[in-house]
């Protein structure tokens, strides 16, 4: 493998359906502006509970993508 550098960012995604949907939505949205996504790692999961409202599933993801120098 050639020498490479990767940047890691954290994003939080939400869904009223599931943690899986929250993660998938986050990755899908991030892929619109970030190129060459490599790894997604779930760091944290929780559920926001508010009486009278649907549960909100939340995931905190670390996403890595190949870092390219600007020229």
Q: Which domains does the chain have, with CATH numbers?
A: 6-66 (3.30.1660.10)
Where does the pLDDT of residue 28 fall: very low under 50, low under 70, confident under 90, or very high at 90 and above?
very high
Report how far apart, in Å, the C-alpha atoms of 27 and of each of 5, 8, 18, 67 are: 20, 13, 14, 17
Percent of the chain with pLDDT over 70: 96
Greater confidence (56 vs 5) lies with 56
Q: Which two tokens stand for residue 18?
A: 């599931």
d(CA 12, CA 26): 7
Q: Is 1 a residue whose pLDDT tops 70?
A: no
Q: Is 69 a residue whose pLDDT tops 90?
A: no
- Burial (CB count <10 Å: 0-12, 13-18, 19+), residue 2: exposed
């Amino acid at each position: 493998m050639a020498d490479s550098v990767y940047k890691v960012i954290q994003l939080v995604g939400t869904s009223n359906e599931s943690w899986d949907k929250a993660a998938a939505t986050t990755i899908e949205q991030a892929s619109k502006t970030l190129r060459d996504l490599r790894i997604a790692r779930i760091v944290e999961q929780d559920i926001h509970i508010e009486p009278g409202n649907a549960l909100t599933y939340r995931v905190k993801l670390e996403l890595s993508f190949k870092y390219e120098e600007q020229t």
